[in-house]
């Protein structure tokens, strides 16, 4: 598995995401709840819940979500994805 991120640091980075996303439930806030994100068959956009597709969504945003390509560096994104895998 390419676990190159630090989930503890990713939890800190998630504080920016928590404004719109619940980490502890699938209940929708402004954006979808992210509990069990990597266990889902598909993302809200119909794509597979893979590291690559989730990173693209973080980078490009979409469906009301702003792009974070310039706001988070690659290590922060790795950490965030590692954290999302723990949900």
DSSP 36-71: TGGGSSB-TTSSB--HHHHHHHHHH-BTTBPP-TTT
Domains of the chain: residue spans and CATH: 7-84 (1.10.760.10)
32 — pLDDT class (breaks 50, 70, 90): very high
Q: Which residue has the tokens 């989930």?
A: 7
Q: Is residue 4 over pLDDT 90?
A: no
**Tens of pLDDT, residues 54-80:** 999 999 999 899 999 999 999 999 999
Indicate the pTM of the whole model.
Answer: 0.92
**Residue-wise pLDDT tens digits, 8-23:** 999 999 999 999 999 9
């Amino acid at each position: 598995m390419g676990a190159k991120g630090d989930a503890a640091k990713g939890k800190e980075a998630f504080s920016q995401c928590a404004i719109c996303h619940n980490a502890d439930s699938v209940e929708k806030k402004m954006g979808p709840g992210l509990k069990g994100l990597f266990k889902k068959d598909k993302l809200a956009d119909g794509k597979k819940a893979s590291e690559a597709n989730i990173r693209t969504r973080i980078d490009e945003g979409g469906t009301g979500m702003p792009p974070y390509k310039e706001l988070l560096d690659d290590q922060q994104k790795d950490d965030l994805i590692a954290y999302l895998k723990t949900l």
